[in-house]
Amino acid sequence: MTIDDQIEKIIEIFSGFTAHVEPYHIEELREEIRKVLTPPSLSDYDLVIGQEVKFVPPNQTNKRTGRVKGMNADGSIYIQDSKKAFGRSIHVGDLYVEVAGPRGGTILKKVGE
């Protein structure tokens, strides 16, 4: 069953519980359902495979550097640790990327902000 088929089934069920649904509400509902059913991708967070990111490993305080290798089904990002050379899954909110700062230097920005 495709995502579009799932959306139509949900709208059909939803419409059965309400007396009247305006067409523009159905379109809004369709878009909201699509957001929930569609898994996130790296492009949603402006990340690409091979991009360098920083993260704080569990039970440590210093940031480490790694490279993006992909995205897991649960929405976490799969990172290849640059020093230990092993992979780990990191929650999107715990990743940082370097961006140009206001004075021309680089600053760390949390992914997803």
What is the total count of domains within the chain? Answer: 2
- Same-domain pairing of 20 and 55: no
* Spans in the chain with pLDDT lower than 50: none
Give residue 98's identity as a one-letter amino acid code: E
> Which residue in 37, 28, 48 sits closest to 7, CA to CA?
37
CA distance 1 to 21: 25
- Same-domain pairing of 59 and 93: yes
CA distance 33 to 39: 12
Range of the domain at 99: 42-110
- Same-domain pairing of 78 and 91: yes
- Same-domain pairing of 54 and 71: yes
| pLDDT more than 70, % of the chain | 88
- Same-domain pairing of 33 and 48: no
- Same-domain pairing of 30 and 46: no
Tokens of 93: 């909110």
- Same-domain pairing of 94 and 49: yes
Q: What pLDDT does 21 receive?
A: 64
- Same-domain pairing of 29 and 55: no
- Same-domain pairing of 52 and 83: yes
| Residue 103 φ/ψ, nearest 5 degrees | -110, 15
- Same-domain pairing of 99 and 51: yes
Q: Supply the pTM of this predicted model.
A: 0.62
Q: What pLDDT does 4 receive?
A: 76
Tokens of 53: 């990111």
Residue 48, Ramachandran bin (φ over 0: left; ψ between -120 and 50: alpha; else beta): beta
Only one residue has tokens 């929930």, namely: 36
CA distance 57 to 64: 7
